[in-house]
């Protein structure tokens, strides 16, 4: 199913002034995050007109159109009004011509306006639409904000993912999503996770049931979305299995076509998994800042071997 955004949703999210447009105009669908600056079209060149995009008028477009004769301006603006044109957006709080209002009202297209500069408004609209229109997939797990790092906790059913998340919340960290995490690509390297609307702020604990984290722990215990930066896989402790004790393995899991670093934590009675995840998050952040404890240990070991070999 193709994602869409209503024009009214865009106007509300970015606090755009509705200069013209009734209910039907505001209910139009925006189906692409691409935005058109119709400079060539104002000169009469419509060969490659992207009529299904938002039409953004900056100072260049508005100034040029104001130089046209009213009849010519109305004719061009009517040609800009296609059946699938979502809306006209004016930046810098500039004056909207009577001909634009007439053409838009004839075709039931909204005219929106912002006081923000054109380039900044373009970025705001693109960012909003990229997030809303991106193809979403869902993964099983719990997404938690640990020291500002988006940690996705995964593992077999019943391993204790939600209980671990609850302990992290009690320790001051924040819940994004429990049980099911909706993910989408913000760009080629950035993966964003958020909760489904029905599960927002909720967490399920076996034996207790569903609890509302925001209601019990306050607004500071939850957040709406988060970049997924580290995946933690909880697995049952196996006596005969060898586990990485140096942290030298570089495993990753592919989610939404983005490779996310992954660590595996064996779970058994007596291990405080929440504290281990906290340390894992801090250690991962240290690595991204250039300090690798494993490499430091290996360097010390190599130096010690070299010193002993010279004796």
**How many residues in the chain?**
311
Residue-level pLDDT at 291: 74
Is 207 annotated in some ligand binding site?
no
Domain with CATH 3.40.50.300 in the chain: 137-292
Task: Tell me: pLDDT of 302 over 80.
Answer: no
Q: What is the reported pLDDT for 69?
A: 95
What integer pLDDT is reported at residue 248 of this predicted model?
A: 58
Considering all CA atoms of the chain, what is the largest pairwise distance in Å, rounded to the nearest integer?
96
pLDDT at 231: 96
Q: Tell me the H-state helices in the chain.
A: 7-14, 23-26, 39-42, 59-66, 70-80, 98-106, 118-133, 161-170, 213-217, 273-288, 293-309
3-state secondary structure of 167: helix
Average pLDDT over the chain, rounded to an integer? 90
Q: What is the CATH number of domain 5-133?
A: 3.40.1390.20
Q: Is residue 148 part of an annotated ligand binding site?
A: no
Residue 153, annotated ligand binder?
no
Residue intervals in the chain for CATH 3.40.1390.20: 5-133
List pLDDT tens digits, range 137-162. Answer: 899 999 999 999 999 999 988 899 99
187 annotated binding-site participant: no
123 is in an annotated binding site: no
pLDDT tens profile 237-264: 887 777 666 565 678 999 988 999 999 9
Share of the chain above pLDDT 90, in %: 71
Does the annotation flag 170 for ligand binding? no
Q: Please give the Cα distance from 42 to 106 (Å, whole number).
A: 19
Cα–Cα distance between 276 and 253 in angstroms, integer? Answer: 20
Mean pLDDT to the nearest integer, 269-296: 85
Residue 273 near residue 267 (C-beta atoms within 8 A) = yes
Q: Give me the half-sphere count of Cα atoms (radius 13 Å) on the Cβ side of residue 44.
A: 3
Looking at residue 1, what is its pLDDT? 47
User: What are 85-100's pLDDT values in tens digits?
Assistant: 999 999 999 999 999 9
CATH hierarchy code of domain 137-292: 3.40.50.300
Catalytic positions are 140, 161, 179, 245
């Amino acid at each position: 199913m193709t994602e869409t955004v209503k024009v009214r949703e865009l106007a509300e999210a970015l606090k755009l002034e509705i200069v013209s447009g009734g209910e039907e105009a505001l209910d139009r669908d925006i189906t692409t995050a691409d935005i058109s600056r119709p400079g060539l079209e104002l000169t009469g060149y419509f060969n490659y007109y992207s009529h299904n995009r938002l039409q953004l008028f900056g100072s260049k477009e508005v100034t040029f159109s104001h130089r046209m004769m009213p009849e010519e301006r109305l004719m061009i603006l009517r040609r800009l009004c296609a059946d699938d044109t979502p809306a006209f957006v004016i930046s810098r709080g500039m004056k909207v011509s009577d001909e634009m209002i007439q053409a838009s009202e004839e075709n039931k297209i909204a005219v929106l306006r912002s006081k923000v500069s054109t380039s900044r408004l373009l970025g705001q609209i693109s960012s909003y639409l990229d997030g809303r229109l991106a193809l979403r997939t869902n993964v099983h797990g719990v997404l938690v904000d640990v020291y500002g790092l988006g940690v996705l906790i995964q593992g077999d059913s019943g391993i204790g993912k939600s209980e671990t998340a609850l302990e992290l919340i009690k320790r001051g960290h924040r819940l994004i999503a429990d049980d099911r995490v909706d993910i989408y690509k913000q760009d080629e390297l950035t993966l964003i996770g958020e909760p489904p609307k029905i599960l927002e702020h909720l967490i399920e604990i076996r034996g207790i049931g569903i609890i509302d984290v925001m209601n019990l722990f306050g607004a500071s215990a939850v957040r709406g979305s988060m970049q997924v930066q580290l995946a933690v896989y909880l697995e049952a402790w196996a006596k005969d299995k060898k586990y990485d004790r140096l942290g030298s393995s570089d495993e990753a899991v592919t989610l939404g076509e983005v490779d996310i670093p992954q660590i595996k934590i064996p779970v058994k009675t007596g291990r405080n998994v929440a504290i281990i995840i906290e340390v894992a998050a801090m250690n991962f952040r240290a690595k991204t800042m250039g300090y690798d404890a494993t490499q430091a240990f290996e360097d010390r070991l190599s130096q010690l071997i070299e010193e002993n070999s010279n004796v």
